[in-house]
């Protein structure tokens, strides 16, 4: 049976935080049953109708909706966490796409189908207007090929660097010619007159053989089917260790490493890589059994893994939303998220966001402090009021605490401890012994007018920034 530490770890990595109610639900179960419960995401997570007047504001509106789903509104937040993974993998950027609704369509697809099948998801992503614009496939025609999408599909999305040749890039690019968009309607458009339908050799397979109208339109999909099917890494590929290997094995290992890095935060052990690769192949790249294999590995619950992941800015904001009980549109400073190093809808480049040390630098950590302060100020809105129904009260997810209760702890260690313990319980958080000692000392020794600042220190404690 899993320990409470195991269940809390599983939930922090899959559902952003270990909500006490979820811990209580899963703790009596076997690890297999607990993992299956986490994986039991709804078939349709729903979405929002964007109504804000400007494109930028609609992007913010969707971001708040998505953050609320992560923190409050999803019965199985792994669905939103996986969509975040895909958003950082199959990247598009609102600044270049220039359409909040197009970004919404892409992320909603990740939310709905992100735990379905890699092959299906890759094909779906390939003809979304957000991706077509972001990687310039709307400029890809047989008379003037644009290699951006054809190259990144292999390099960043499916195979990894060095497992193909420039001839394969050219063949992939040709297969994707003609898939474009209409800037006025934001609709996907197929232009048969732009398409290069000549037979091509791609990863050792001849593609583009079907010359019917529908067959030519599907030539791009052949690229994905070949990578995840009968392709071979060329004998002249840069990656010597993979030369001659089945590309489906290389792709399965490539994505397995990315899954492990995202959820575990450490280098993937060789035995885990083999098990995840084999699960992907055995299930024809179905994502749910692939993830299940990862989450069932004993290595996932090792002490080094449990302590090995710095929360990304999106993870931090989701945790703060849960701890404060606030809705994103009320409390989340999106511009500060950018300063922390990660803002939804705006990945830094086509490679997406990195993890762990990527977010640890003086500037980013200062923005984390400012973000916690912003949440603190929202919670303190009525604390200093002397009139009104909530005067002198801080409202938290698990209850309320009054100004009188807070200021009464001066020079009394028992009361100081109780204040900290009550706040942690109301925020549904736990703290390690070092954090507790610091919080207790602060609560006891600071002036009564500053004692409420213990709430800010709770939001800055390491337990909220390391998952």
User: What single-letter DSSP state applies at residue 323?
Assistant: H
Q: Are 336 and 367 in contact (CB under 8 A)?
A: yes
- Got the DSSP string for 197-210? -S-EEETTEEE---
Q: What is the pLDDT of residue 1?
A: 87
Q: What is the mean pLDDT of residues 243-271?
A: 97
Q: What is the pLDDT of residue 133?
A: 98
CA dist., res. 22 & res. 15, Å (int) = 10
Structure confidence at residue 263 as a pLDDT band (50, 70, 90): very high
φ, ψ (nearest 5 deg) of residue 27: -60, -35
Q: What is the mean pLDDT of residues 175-186?
A: 96
Q: What is the mean pLDDT of residues 231-260?
A: 98
Q: What is the pLDDT of residue 410?
A: 61
Residue 128 has pLDDT above 80, yes or no: yes
Q: What is the pLDDT of residue 165?
A: 98
Distances (CA, A) of 313 to 54, 342, 467: 25, 6, 12
Q: What is the mean pLDDT of residues 105-132?
A: 98
Q: Which of 1-5, 128-132, 342-346, 407-411 has the lowest mean pLDDT?
A: 407-411
Q: What is the mean pLDDT of residues 187-205?
A: 97
User: Hey, what are 83's tokens?
Assistant: 């969509």
| Helix pair 270-282, 287-296: axis angle to 10 deg | 150
CA dist., res. 428 & res. 118, Å (int) = 36
Q: What is the pLDDT of residue 409?
A: 65
Q: What is the mean pLDDT of residues 28-36?
A: 98
Domain regions of the chain by residue span = 393-464
Residue 412 has pLDDT above 80, yes or no: no
Q: What is the pLDDT of residue 411?
A: 67
197-233 burial, b at 16+ Cβ within 10 Å, e below that, comes to: beebebbebebbeeeeeeebbebbbbbbbbbbbebbb
Q: What is the pLDDT of residue 187?
A: 97
Structure confidence at residue 408 as a pLDDT band (50, 70, 90): confident
Report, in this order, helix, strand and coil percent for the chain, each rounded to 5: 60, 5, 35
Q: What is the residue-averaged pLDDT of the chain?
A: 95
Q: What is the pLDDT of residue 285?
A: 98
CA dist., res. 257 & res. 249, Å (int) = 12
Residue 23 has pLDDT above 90, yes or no: yes
Spatial neighbors of 397 by CB under 8 A, at least 6 apart, are: 322, 323, 324, 325, 426, 427, 428
User: Interior CA angle at 358 toward 133 and 93, to 5°?
Assistant: 15
Q: Which of 149-153, 370-374, 409-413 has the lowest mean pLDDT?
A: 409-413
Residue 333 has pLDDT above 90, yes or no: no
Structure confidence at residue 9 as a pLDDT band (50, 70, 90): very high
Q: What is the mean pLDDT of residues 331-359?
A: 92
Q: What is the pLDDT of residue 247?
A: 98
Structure confidence at residue 239 as a pLDDT band (50, 70, 90): very high
Q: Are 326 and 394 in contact (CB under 8 A)?
A: no
User: Hey, what are 72's tokens?
Assistant: 């409050």
Structure confidence at residue 271 as a pLDDT band (50, 70, 90): very high
CA dist., res. 359 & res. 214, Å (int) = 46
Q: What is the pLDDT of residue 356?
A: 78
Q: Are 186 and 101 in contact (CB under 8 A)?
A: yes
Give percent above pLDDT 70 in the chain: 99
Q: What is the mean pLDDT of residues 427-434?
A: 92
């Amino acid at each position: 049976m899993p320990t409470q530490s195991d269940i809390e770890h599983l939930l922090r990595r899959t559902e952003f935080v270990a909500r006490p109610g979820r811990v209580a639900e899963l703790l009596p179960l076997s690890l297999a049953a607990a993992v299956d419960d986490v994986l039991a995401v709804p078939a349709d997570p729903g979405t929002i109708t964007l109504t804000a007047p400007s494109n930028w504001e609609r992007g913010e509106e969707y971001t708040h909706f998505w953050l609320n789903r992560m923190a409050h509104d999803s019965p199985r937040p792994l669905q939103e966490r996986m969509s975040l993974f895909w958003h950082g993998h199959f990247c598009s950027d609102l600044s270049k796409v220039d359409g909040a609704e197009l970004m919404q369509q892409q992320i909603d697809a990740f939310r709905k189908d992100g735990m379905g099948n890699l092959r299906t998801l890759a094909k779906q992503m390939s003809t979304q207007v957000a991706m077509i614009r972001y990687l310039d496939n709307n400029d890809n025609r047989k008379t003037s090929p644009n290699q951006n999408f054809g190259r990144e599909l292999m390099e960043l999305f499916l195979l990894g660097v060095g497992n193909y040749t420039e001839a394969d890039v050219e063949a992939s690019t040709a297969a994707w010619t003609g898939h474009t968009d209409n800037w006025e309607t934001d609709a996907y458009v197929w232009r048969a007159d732009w398409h290069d339908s000549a037979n091509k050799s791609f990863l050792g397979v001849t593609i583009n053989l079907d010359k019917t109208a529908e067959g030519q339109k599907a030539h791009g999909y052949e690229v994905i089917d070949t990578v995840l099917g009968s392709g071979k890494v060329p004998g002249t590929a840069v990656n010597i260790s993979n030369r001659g290997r089945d590309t489906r094995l290389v792709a399965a290992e490539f994505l397995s490493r990315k899954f492990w890095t995202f959820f575990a935060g450490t280098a993937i052990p060789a035995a885990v890589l083999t098990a995840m690769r084999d699960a992907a192949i055995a299930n024809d790249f179905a994502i749910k059994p692939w993830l299940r294999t990862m989450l069932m590995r004993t290595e996932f619950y090792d002490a080094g893994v449990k302590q090995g992941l710095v929360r990304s800015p999106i993870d931090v904001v989701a945790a703060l939303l849960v701890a404060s009980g606030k809705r994103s549109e009320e409390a989340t400073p999106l511009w500060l998220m950018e300063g922390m190093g990660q803002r939804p809808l705006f990945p830094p480049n086509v490679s997406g966001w990195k993890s762990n040390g990527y977010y640890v630098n003086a500037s980013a950590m200062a923005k984390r402090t400012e973000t916690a302060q912003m949440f603190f100020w929202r919670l303190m809105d009525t604390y200093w009021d002397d009139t009104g129904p909530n005067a002198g009260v801080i409202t938290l997810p698990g209850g309320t605490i009054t100004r009188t209760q807070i200021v009464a702890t001066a020079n009394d260690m028992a009361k100081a401890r109780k204040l900290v313990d009550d706040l942690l319980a109301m925020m549904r958080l736990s703290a390690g012994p070092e954090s507790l000692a610091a919080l207790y000392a602060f609560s006891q020794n600071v002036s009564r007018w500053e004692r409420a600042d213990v709430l800010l220190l709770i939001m800055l404690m390491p337990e909220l920034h390391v998952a």
